[in-house]
Amino acid sequence: MRKEELEGGTTPLRTPITRDVVDHQDSMEHLKQGPARKGARMDISPGLTAERRQVVTPEQTAEHLGSGSASVFSTPSMVLLMELTALAAVDPHLPEGQQTVGIGLSVRHLAPTPVGMQVRCRAELQEVNGRRLIFHVQVWDEVELIGEGTHERAIVEARRFLERAEQKGARE
């Protein structure tokens, strides 16, 4: 993929971006604030998409994270980017008190990406089955497709989900 295409907001298939591109650092703030918007109604259907871009840093390498010895974009960092992108596609559409949690992931890491190169992830909601959401996720660097797969998320009541986790901690 040419650099102009990456910056111009199109995928290799020339599909226009349908959501704002969000910087990776901003994504962490979204998680702290919580996904729910007061008064929002749930309007989640197949076709929702989101894209995220980030520049690969030394902290995201396999060598740094211990998942390998190469100083390239790690699979754990790619998976995090995929999850955050899927999260960005649906969580803004959830009513207050609900959020999504990751429940499944099947991905292939296809090519290495060096530190300093920009990567772009696209998540598209493919299927809604009750509270279960299935996404197709793809990641490109400035040259080629570097990863793809399927990510599943479930819609949960945030309060009940956290209470359940806290009950586990109280058992000790």
* Catalytic residue list: 75, 83, 109
Mind giving me the DSSP string for 69-132? SSSBB-HHHHHHHHHHHHHHHHGGGSBTTEEEEEEEEEEEE-S--BTT-EEEEEEEEEEEETTE
Contacts of 108 (CB under 8 A, 6+ apart): 147, 148, 149
**Cβ pair 171, 28 in contact under 8 A:** no
Q: Which of 32, 9, 35 is nearest to 158 (CA)?
A: 35
β-strand pairing of 98-109 with 49-55: unpaired
